[in-house]
Structure 1
Amino acid sequence: MDEQVGNRAEFTITEAQVIAGTREAMKRHFTRMPYSGILTATYVLVVALLAFLLDSRSLVPLLAAAVIAPPIAYWLIMKFSVPWQARRHFRQAALLSDRSYVEWDSEGITLGGPKGQARLGWHDFYAWDRIAELVMLYQSEAMFNMIPVEAIGEVGADQIEGYLRASGVKWR
């Protein structure tokens, strides 16, 4: 059971939350520049090159496949590969299943658990995001901490977001 007292909350991250957070991080990663621009440009160049090299009769099935393949590949990655990797990561990282706590004030946030704690100023974060069930605090593009909204409540989530915005931390 998650517990909140003032600006302190205790919680245990679940496998489902790790999957949701990882899926959101990967979705943002795939759709932001320069990654999405590089992928799109490469894709357009390959299709244009194939269209140039092939005659018009064989072009229709190729273009149909070219239009259908990327969304299907993206869906397969997000539906199967990302959850599989997140589950694997959750099961390998014993600390993720330990009871954790978070404390916050206008200066920063303390994240801790049975093995230790870290105090970070709001300005130490690279970015932040909020999905339905998690506040995600990014220390870099790839590394983030997850705080369940269920544990800190809507008021706590709004406070944390306010401190991050006031510190100029970008929203993903």
Structure 2
Amino acid sequence: MQYEKLDIPDVVLLTPQVFGDDRGFFMETFRQSDFEANCGDYQFVQDNHSKSKQGILRGLHYQHQKPQGKLVRVTQGEVFDVAVDMRKHSTTFGQWVGVTLSAANKQMLWVPPGFAHGFYVISEEAEFQYKCTDYYAPNDEVSIRWDDAAINIQWPLVDAGSPSLSKKDEVGLEFSKAPYFW
């Protein structure tokens, strides 16, 4: 596994070594000791799997009192995946990084606790899987506007159209009004 720190160094892109031939492929998707050495001492307690159609944007989400770290990957299709630093003490506070994750590139993204996370489906549909370091707590979840000008995420919107959002994401908070981590 190759671990690459991104422009926000706590966010790490993981690229597995893939062994393949005409019969298919094999890859190791997670090894605790290597993950700890490259990303930190975290344990995962919950795995999630979602399926979304093209043009759907999920996020930007985080839990404030019970922050979750997420190790995310795409097993079908392609998404643009984003992490936003919500840690007030950080030199990268309010900044974002984004990568394209796909079934073809088999890459994963480590989004540590203290970050908002979201993704936009580029392909016709996508299946998205992620491991979490804490349990989902719906009453603790915060949603930030996907198009907040203060963050200025450059989403690769299909045909420059508006994304399809859930009701909670339609009423997401402005970045300036969202609770931060200290």
TM normalised by structure 1 equals 0.22
Structure having the higher strand fraction is: 2
Indicate the structure (1 or 2) with the bigger Cα radius of gyration. Answer: 1
TM normalised by structure 2 equals 0.21
Structure having the higher helix fraction is: 1
